[in-house]
C-alpha cells in the first residue's frame, strides 16, 4: 500500500494537499449553485431560460418545467418564487432541507407533494428522501443540491 | 487490516494526525452524500429510461401505422408529392444541467411556432394530420430518451469514481490514521508510565541514601 512520506516538512504538504482536495470536492459538488436566483416570472419571459452557475456556466431551464410550476402557483406568486430551488444536504442521508426564502417555496412543495408542509426552522423545510426524489423528478432543471458541512464537523 | 503510517512518535505528529483524520472524515461525509444523491438520480434515470424506451416503441409503431394508413388513402406518390414541399421547423434546445457536480445534457423539443403544418390542409385528409401528430410525438420521446441515456452513462461513470474515493477513505485512509493515532497514544501512555516508575525508583534510592 502507498503511504506518503510524512517525515519533516512533507507532512504539512500532505495536509495542504488534503485541504486542497476537500475544497476542490466542495467546489465541484457545489459547482451547479446559482450566482443569482431568478424569479419564475423573469424566466417565463425569457426566450431561452437559463441560470448562471457559480462556476461560470449556464444551466438550461426547461420551459415545460416552468409551465408546470406556473400551473401549481397563483400568478401573484410568480415574482416571489426564486429558481432554482435549493435543496441542502448536510450529512444526513435520509433527509434533506429545502432552503426557503419566502412562503412561495413552501406552497410549491406542498402543492407538488400534495400534502401540507411547514418549516420547522425559519427558512428551512425538511423533506425525506422519497419526497426529494419526487421533487427532483418533476423539477430536474429548477432545483439544485447544496452540499454543506455540518457545524459539528 | 489497518497499517501504521510511518511518523515520528511526537506529540506534534499526533496533533497533525488528528487534524488529518478530521479532514478525511469531512471529505468522506461529502463523498457519501454525493454518492447517495448520484445513486438516487441514477436509479430514477434508469426507471425513466425504461418507460421512455417503451414510449418510443409505442410512438414509433403508432407513427408508422398512421403513415401507412395515410399513404394507403392518398396514394404513396401523391402523399410524397404533398409532403415534399412541407417545411417544418424543428428546433431542439440543448444545454447542460448540473447534478451534484455532474454535467448532464438537457434536451427539449421546442413547440412549433405559428401552428402551420407545412402542407396543404385543403388537399389532404385528417389522416395526414394524425400521422404528423404521431410522428411529432415520436420525435419528442426519442429526444427524451437520448437525454436520459446520456445522463445514465455520465451518472454511472461518476458513481464509480465517487465510490472508489469513498471506499479508499473508508477502508484504507481513515482506519490507517485511526490505528496510527491509537498506536501513538498508547506509546505516550507507556512513556508516561515508564517515567513515573523511574521517578519512584529514584525516590526510593534517594530515600535509602538519606537513611544511610
Specify the number of domains making up chain A.
1
Q: Which long-range contacts (CB under 8 A, 24 or more apart) does A70-78 make?
A: A70/A40, A70/A44, A72/A108, A72/A111, A72/A112, A73/A40, A73/A104, A73/A107, A73/A108, A73/A111, A77/A40, A77/A104, A77/A107, A78/A39, A78/A40, A78/A41, A78/A44
Summary mean pLDDT of chain B: 86
In degrees to the nearest 10, what's the CA dihedral of B51, A136, A128, A70? -120
Which one has a higher pLDDT value, A82 or B85?
A82
Whether B20 and A15 lie within 8 Å, measured CB to CB? yes
Instruction: Give the per-residue pLDDT at A153.
Output: 43
> Nearest Cα to B153, choosing from B145, B165, B143, B163?
B145
> Which residues of chain A does B31 touch, with a Cβ-Cβ cutoff of 8 Å?
25
pLDDT > 70: what percent of chain A?
84
Of B6, B19, B93, the CB nearest to A15: B19
Task: Compute the distance between CA of residue A14 and CA of residue B177 in angstroms, rounded to an integer.
Answer: 13
Asked if B112 and B137 touch (Cβ cutoff 8 Å), the reply is: no
Residue A12 lies in a domain: no
Query: Residue B171 belongs to a domain with what CATH number?
Result: 1.10.287.3240
Structure letter (DSSP) for residue A152: T
Measure in Å the smallest separation between the Cα of B49 and chain A Cα atoms. Answer: 13
Q: A134 CB contacts (<8 Å, ≥6 apart)? A: A112, A113
Residue B184 lies in a domain: no
Task: Compute the distance between CA of residue B29 and CA of residue B71 in angstroms, rounded to an integer.
Answer: 61
Residue A106 lies in a domain: yes
Average pLDDT across each block of 10 residues of chain A; the chain has 153 residues. List them in order. 50 69 79 89 90 88 90 90 86 77 88 86 86 89 83 46
The answer to whether the pTM exceeds 0.90 is no
Q: Which three cell numbers stand for residue A57?
A: 456556466
Whether A153 and B27 lie within 8 Å, measured CB to CB? no
Asked if A17 and B19 touch (Cβ cutoff 8 Å), the reply is: no
Task: Compute the distance between CA of residue B86 and CA of residue B90 in angstroms, rounded to an integer.
Answer: 12
Residue A129 lies in a domain: yes
Q: Is B149 on the interface with A (CB under 8 A)?
A: no
Task: Compute the distance between CA of residue B160 and CA of residue B156 in angstroms, rounded to an integer.
Answer: 6
Q: Is the pLDDT reported for residue B7 higher than 50?
A: yes
Specify the number of domains making up chain B.
1
Q: Is the pLDDT reported for residue B203 higher than 70?
A: yes
Nearest chain B residue to A60, by CA: B95
Range of the domain at B111: 27-177
Interface subset of B 48-107, CB within 8 angstroms of A: 48, 93-101, 103, 106
> Which residues of chain B does A15 touch, with a Cβ-Cβ cutoff of 8 Å?
16, 19-20, 23
Of A30, A62, A149, the CB nearest to B26: A149
Residue B195 lies in a domain: no
Whether B95 and A15 lie within 8 Å, measured CB to CB? no
Whether A60 and B95 lie within 8 Å, measured CB to CB? yes
Of A14, A59, A93, the CB nearest to B97: A59
Whether B97 and A14 lie within 8 Å, measured CB to CB? no
Range of the domain at A104: 35-147
Report, as an integer, the average pLDDT of B181-199. 93
Instruction: Give the per-residue pLDDT at B181.
Output: 93
Residue A153 lies in a domain: no
- CA B34 → CA A3, A56, A127, B41, B101, distances in Å? 26, 21, 17, 10, 9
> Nearest Cα to B118, choosing from B146, B90, B160, B77?
B90
Report, as an integer, the average pLDDT of B176-198. 93
Amino acid at each position: 500500500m502507498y503511504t506518503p512520506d510524512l517525515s519533516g516538512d512533507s507532512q504539512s504538504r500532505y495536509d495542504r494537499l488534503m485541504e486542497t482536495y476537500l475544497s476542490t470536492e466542495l467546489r465541484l459538488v457545489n459547482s451547479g449553485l446559482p450566482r443569482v436566483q431568478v424569479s419564475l416570472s423573469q424566466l417565463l419571459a425569457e426566450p431561452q431560460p437559463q441560470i448562471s452557475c457559480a462556476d461560470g456556466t449556464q444551466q438550461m431551464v426547461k420551459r415545460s418545467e416552468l409551465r408546470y410550476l406556473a400551473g401549481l402557483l397563483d400568478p401573484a406568486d410568480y415574482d416571489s418564487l426564486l429558481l432554482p430551488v435549493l435543496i441542502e444536504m448536510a450529512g444526513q442521508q435520509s433527509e434533506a432541507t429545502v432552503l426557503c426564502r419566502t412562503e412561495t417555496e413552501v406552497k410549491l412543495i406542498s402543492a407538488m407533494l400534495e400534502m401540507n408542509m411547514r418549516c420547522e426552522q425559519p427558512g428551512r423545510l425538511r423533506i425525506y428522501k422519497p419526497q426529494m426524489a419526487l421533487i427532483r423528478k418533476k423539477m430536474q432543471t429548477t432545483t439544485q443540491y447544496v452540499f454543506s458541512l455540518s457545524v459539528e464537523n | 487490516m489497518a497499517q501504521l503510517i510511518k511518523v515520528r512518535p511526537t506529540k506534534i505528529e499526533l496533533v497533525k494526525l488528528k487534524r488529518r483524520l478530521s479532514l478525511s472524515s469531512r471529505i468522506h461525509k461529502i463523498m457519501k452524500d454525493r454518492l447517495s444523491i448520484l445513486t438516487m438520480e441514477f436509479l430514477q434515470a434508469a426507471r425513466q429510461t425504461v418507460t421512455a424506451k417503451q414510449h418510443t416503441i409505442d410512438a414509433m409503431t403508432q407513427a408508422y401505422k398512421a403513415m401507412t394508413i395515410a399513404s394507403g388513402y392518398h396514394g404513396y406518390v401523391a402523399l410524397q408529392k404533398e409532403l415534399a414541399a412541407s417545411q417544418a421547423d424543428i428546433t431542439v434546445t440543448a444545454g447542460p444541467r448540473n447534478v451534484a457536480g455532474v454535467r448532464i445534457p438537457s434536451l427539449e423539443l421546442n413547440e412549433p411556432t405559428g401552428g402551420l403544418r407545412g402542407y396543404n390542409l385543403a388537399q389532404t385528409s385528417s389522416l395526414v394530420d394524425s400521422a404528423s401528430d404521431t410522428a411529432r410525438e415520436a420525435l419528442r420521446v426519442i429526444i427524451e430518451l437520448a437525454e436520459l441515456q446520456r445522463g445514465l452513462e455520465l451518472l454511472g461513470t461518476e458513481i464509480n469514481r465517487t465510490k472508489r474515493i469513498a471506499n479508499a477513505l473508508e477502508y484504507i485512509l481513515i482506519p490507517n490514521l485511526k490505528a496510527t493515532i491509537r498506536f501513538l497514544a498508547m506509546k505516550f501512555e507507556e512513556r508516561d508510565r515508564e517515567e513515573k516508575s523511574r521517578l519512584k525508583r529514584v525516590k526510593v534510592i534517594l530515600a535509602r541514601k538519606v537513611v544511610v
